[in-house]
Amino acid sequence: MPTETVYGLAADATLDDAVRRIFATKGRPATHPVIVHIPSVEHLDHWSRDVPDTARLLGTECWPGPLTVVVPRADTVSDLVTGGRDTVGLRVPAHPLTLELLARHGGGLAAPSANRFGRVSPTTARHVLDDLGDMVDYVLDGGPSSVGVESTIVDCTCDPPQVLRHGGLPAEQIGRILGGELAEPSGPSRAPGMLASHYAPSCEVEVVADDATAQRRAHLLRAAGRNVTVLGSDDDVVRYARELYTRFREAESTRVDVIVAVAPAPEGLGHAIRDRLAKASAPRP
Ligand code: TXA
Ligand code: MG
């Protein structure tokens, strides 16, 4: 299913066999929790036994939108969805087709990004077909994702809430709504599945500080006979995020050896882009 962030591989969150198929299709470890997509903020209480005020406020202000809240789970939520944890991640995605799907379904759809485990997240229906092809029953084509990076994940079970993953909703905006600071993740592996090297295209990725450095580096690499592409050489951070994963995929299919990517300023969507670039350039397992 399409969302404003990336395409999701969806299954009814109450059907264990269906959720198992998500893990099998992605090749993803069963201990990683998946986000449950719900039709509206009113559904929070169905999935959480005790909705924190911060989660209710964020849901009311930001949904539908690129935000996932982690809250105490209700007893009925399957261990497969939560990875055996006492919390569940919930979000209302901002895509008309998927909102209609959720409204008609009336329940919750568990959905990780619709890519093979460890690969680049899909932002078009074509990406999904390229990755998962006949392993999925249907692809709902909702056009290219408008945000292009995954949702921001906020753990609302702690005080102050922690940003577990930077994403499509800037942390500054969330902090303003909560009227205070957000904490960076701490404690043992708060969000399992966020491995150092996770959003990796098959080519090398080098992250540099500015345009001039990117051009110099590209020149040197090309002189050494390598096929190079430069990313992010303009100031439009919204477009940078929207096109990031498509650029990664294009680089793979055109046999680029090295992507030289300019890191945007650490503000707004820049946090999420920097995080994905850091992961894409990390040493591969
Ligand atoms: O934008 C998105 O969030 C997309 C679209 C499809 O909604 N989904 C997505 O799902 O990125 P996925 O599975 O690729 O990443 C979900 C992340 C995982 O790293 C997982 O560890 C974390 O969310 N997560 C889910 N439930 C959690 C929980 N209860 N506690 C901590 N982390 C959780
Ligand atoms: Mg993913």
In the reported structure, the alpha carbon of residue 213 is separated from the centroid of ligand 2 by a whole-number distance in angstroms of 30
Q: What is the best residue among 3, 38, 48, 68 to mutate for testing ligand 1's pocket, by most ligand atoms within 8 Å of CB?
A: 68
Q: What are 98's two structure tokens? A: 């998927």
Residue 112: the pLDDT is 97
How many whole angstroms separate alpha carbon 217 and alpha carbon 18? 47
**Other Cβ atoms closer than 10 A to 60:** 12
Strand, coil or helix: 283 = coil
Give the β-pairing of 109-110 and 162-165: unpaired
**Among 152, 214, 207, which residue's Cα sits nearest to residue 184?**
152
In the reported structure, the alpha carbon of residue 251 is separated from the centroid of ligand 1 by a whole-number distance in angstroms of 26
Q: 89: which strand partners? A: 70
Low-confidence ranges of the chain (pLDDT < 50): 189
pTM score, whole prediction: 0.96
- Relative to the alpha carbon of 167, which ligand is closest? 1
- Relative to the alpha carbon of 48, which ligand is closest? 1
Residue 31: the pLDDT is 85
Q: What are 119's two structure tokens? A: 């690969």
Ligand 1 atom with the shortest distance to the CA of 37: 7
State the alpha helices, DSSP H only, in the chain: 16-26, 44-47, 53-62, 79-82, 96-105, 125-132, 171-178, 211-223, 237-253, 270-281
pLDDT tens-digit map of 33-91: 999 999 999 999 999 999 999 999 999 999 999 999 999 999 999 999 999 999 999 99
In the reported structure, the alpha carbon of residue 222 is separated from the centroid of ligand 2 by a whole-number distance in angstroms of 32
Q: What is the best residue among 28, 35, 90, 95 to mutate for testing ligand 1's pocket, by most ligand atoms within 8 Å of CB?
A: 35
How many whole angstroms separate alpha carbon 127 and alpha carbon 162? 31
